[in-house]
Amino acid sequence: MAKFESLTFDNGFARLPEAYFSRVCPTPVPDPYLVCYSPEALALLDLDASEITRPETIQTLAGNQLLPGMDALAALYAGHQFGHFVPQLGDGRAILLGEVKNAAGEGWELQLKGAGRTPYSRGGDGRAVLRSSIREFLCSEAMHALGIPTTRALCIVGSDRPVYREDEETAALVTRLAPSFVRFGSFEVFYYRNQIEPIRHLADYVIARYYPELATRAEPYAELLREVARRTAELMAQWQAVGFSHGVMNTDNMSILGLTLDYGPFGFLDAFDPGYICNHSDTGGRYAFDQQPDVAAWNITKLAQTLVPLLSVETASAAIADYPQQFGQAYIARMAAKFGLPASGEMVPLLMDALQLLAQNHVDYTIFMRRLCDFDSATEAVNAPLRDLFLDRAAFDAWALRYAAALRQQGSDDTTRGQTMRAVNPKYILRNHLAEVAIRRAADERDYSEINRLHRLLARPFDEQPENAAYAAEPPDWARKIEVSCSS
Ligand code: AMP
Ligand code: MG
């Protein structure tokens, strides 16, 4: 195991020309303390728990000191926010400390979110509050455990320094890890300034570092677009299949690596509702749950546009043309697997009718899918635990007959299918109310045990964990009042 002070840094992004960032140090916070950490994320840096709990490490991850080899900076980017172009954004409160090379040769960029003001802070204070930091920490690690590409979260460090939002809250910093935090907006900023060479250089950097297999192709920039579109289609299929709503799919929150990036007012579906809007500030529903795949397509066209000067309109368009089909295929494949059916077009009406029934009956999505793993396909079976979820029992019975017939036609064995389905239908997701309980305990009582408990629970989302069954239940009534917005 490595020592935190002797991590090896090799800061690829910091070696780019200064056009891409501003060098800036974190602003210290008083008396930092460790709130929680992810052992799985620590392992990515070859570190164990004894390293993260040391005061020196906590000082560094509070932004109070830098280690030799770190080269702190805030990245520049632009972005389309709710459809409107904002020519300059950038890391307004995130500071990249450097890139760690682990023993396996992987590069992991270490970024502090909430580390103080940067040249891109605009009116903001450069801080993050404990509440939103807990949500980001838990969700990043939960998404990873679900098998969904995402930035990771190493730990949260807190400080009693006040931070003013609607109310006074306290400051926290999340240490995020990712191979790269480059966004679609990292390209857009130069496109709208008419600066072609920085676009080319950034594309070359991204290809060389993260898509080396594309470098030797005839049209590497077109291949890059194609690959980003493909990964994004895959990511959208995973979000839709698990019922995840990001909430702020601006182009500056879209990862060039196809990772889930920038956790803000996200939410998982409880009752299945295609029009679910998790972001209280999104009054128009631009980023509603069922809009996500199309919004991603729109965002990809914005990225493609930035590469047009290096390609041509035709080549750029052709490179992203497959997105709808890629998304469709990936989505059907994932949904069919959740239902234990083959991914053929024939199955689509059965899947879509189920979703429609869930929506009409306000059935909890995750609970339905999990109970479906125990479906009895015998002709006379009632499947009461599933049936009881529906108000319209007759409609469920009619669907269940079709489903049972499809399963029997496949020669599907209930026990084997159930096992396979349980590996793709999580029992545990980060429901809003679960995060809320952990947040309240942390904020009101300085009790971080619930964060740790949730973290451990969500590290094994597909396991039965009978002792934790209460965490798989539908949200309580008070959960309806939880509002999540961009203010974090
Ligand atoms: P987001 O919607 O959280 O992805 O943030 C949009 C932009 O606002 C990014 O450029 C952030 O860095 C910036 N930002 C958000 N909150 C703050 C803050 N408290 N202080 C400074 N900049 C912020
Ligand atoms: Mg952002």
Q: Which ligand is nearest to the CA of 132?
A: 1
371 and 411 belong to one structural domain: yes
Q: How confident is the model at residue 237 (pLDDT cuts 50, 70, 90)?
A: very high
Q: Is the CB of 349 under 6 A from ligand 1?
A: no
| 303 in the same domain as 162 | no
Residue nearest to atom 17 of ligand 1 (CA): 124
Shared-domain flag, residues 132 and 95: yes
Assigned token pair, 259: 């990772």
Residue 216 shares a structural domain with residue 322: yes
Atom number of ligand 1 nearest to Cα 77: 10
- Asked if residue 418 is part of any domain, the answer here is yes
Measure 167 CA to ligand 1 centroid, in angstroms: 18
Residues with CB under 5 A from ligand 2 (ion): 253, 262
What is the SS3 assignment for 115?
coil
| 65 in any annotated domain | yes
| Residue at 296 is within a domain | yes
Angle between helices 220-242 and 292-307 (to 10 degrees): 170
Cβ burial, residue 465 (10 Å; 0-12/13-18/19+): middle
Check if 252 is active-site. yes
Amino acid type, 178:
A
Which letter, b or e, does each residue of 234-255 get, where b requires 16 or more Cβ atoms within 10 Å of its Cβ? bbbbbbbbbbbbbbbbbbbbbb
* Residue 105 confidence (pLDDT): 95
Q: Is the domain of 307 the same as that of 454?
A: no
The pTM score is 0.97
Question: Could you give the CA distance from residue 51 to residue 2 in angstroms, rounded to a whole number?
Answer: 8
- Give pLDDT, residue 296: 98
Cβ atoms of residues 157 and 173 within 8 Å: yes
Which is the catalytic residue, given 91, 252, 282, 364? 252
Distance separating alpha carbons of residues 275 and 360, to the nearest angstrom = 12
> Does residue 268 sit within a domain?
no
Residue range(s) defining the domain that contains residue 458: 432-481
State mean pLDDT over 58-86: 98
Q: What is the pLDDT of residues 350-392, one digit of tens each?
A: 999 999 999 999 999 999 999 999 999 998 999 999 999 999 9
The 3-state secondary structure of 32-87 reads CEEEEECHHHHHHCCCCHHHHCCHHHHHHHCCCCCCCCCCCEEECCCEEECCEEEC
User: Could you tell which of 122, 130, 132, 246 is best to mutate to test the pocket of ligand 1, judged by most ligand atoms within 8 Å of the CB?
Assistant: 122
Q: Quick one: which of 144, 173, 169, 142 has its CA closest to 157? A: 173
| Euclidean distance between CA atoms 441 and 381, whole angstroms | 44
Better-predicted residue by pLDDT, 484 or 140 = 140
Q: Does position 109 have pLDDT exceeding 90, yes or no? A: yes
- Confirm or reject: Cβ of 437 under 6 Å from ligand 1: no
Query: Quick check: helix, strand or coil at residue 260?
Result: strand
Task: Indicate the pLDDT class of residue 486, thresholds 50, 70 and 90.
Answer: low
Average pLDDT estimate for 295-310: 98
What is the helix, strand, coil percentage profile of the chain, to 5? 50, 15, 40
**Predicted local confidence at residue 2, as pLDDT:** 83
Mutate to test the pocket of ligand 1, among 121, 182, 487 (most ligand atoms within 8 A of CB): 121
Is the alpha carbon torsion for 38, 43, 44, 50 positive or negative?
A: positive
The answer to whether the CB of 127 is under 6 A from ligand 1 is: yes
Please check whether residue 163 is in contact with residue 171, taking contact to mean a CB–CB distance below 8 angstroms. Answer: yes
Residues 316 and 361 in one domain: no
What average pLDDT does this structure show over 188-217?
98
Cα(363) to ligand 2 centroid in Å equals: 32
Of the residues 181, 215, 232, which one is the last residue of a structural domain? Answer: 181
Q: Are residues 373 and 459 in the same domain?
A: no
- CB of 90 within 6 A of ligand 1: the answer is yes
State residue 35 phi and psi, 5-degree precision. -90, -45
Of all protein residues, the one whose alpha carbon is nearest to atom 7 of ligand 1 is 89
- Based on the structure, what is the number of domains in the chain? 4
- CA–centroid distance, 93 to ligand 1, in Å, is 6
Residues 149, 253 within the same domain: no
Task: Note whether 21 and 73 are within 8 A (CB).
Answer: yes
| Residue 442 CB contacts under 8 Å (≥ 6 apart), including other chains | 35, 130, 134, 448, 450, 451
Give 242's contacts (C-beta < 8 A, 6+ positions apart): 146, 148, 268, 426, 429
- Report the mean per-residue pLDDT for the chain: 97
DSSP 152-167: EEEEEEEEEEEEESSS
In order, the DSSP letters of 312-335 are: -HHHHHHHHTTHHHHHHHHHHHHH
Q: Both 102 and 144 in a single domain?
A: yes
Whole-number Å distance, alpha carbon 487 to ligand 1 midpoint, is 9
Assigned token pair, 205: 């950097």
Here the tokens at position 14 are 């910091």
Residue 427: inside a domain: no
In ligand 1, the atom with minimum distance to the C-alpha of 264 is 3
| 34 and 169 assigned to the same domain | yes
Residue 453 in any domain: the answer is: yes
| Å from CA of 362 to ligand 1 middle | 35
Q: Which of 422, 455, 471 is the last residue of a domain?
A: 422
End-to-end CA distance of the chain: 35
Q: Is 392 among the domain residues?
A: yes
Within 8 A by CB and 6+ apart from 449, the residues are: 441
92 CB under 6 A from ligand 1?
yes
Predicted local confidence at residue 488, as pLDDT: 66
Contact between 390 and 368 under an 8 Å Cβ cutoff? The reply is no
pLDDT of 219 above 70: yes
Per the structure block, which two tokens stand in for 142?
């939960």
User: Of 136, 157, 181, which marks where a domain is finished?
Assistant: 181
**pLDDT band with cut points at 50, 70 and 90 for residue 127:** very high
Check whether residue 325 and residue 252 sit in a common domain. yes
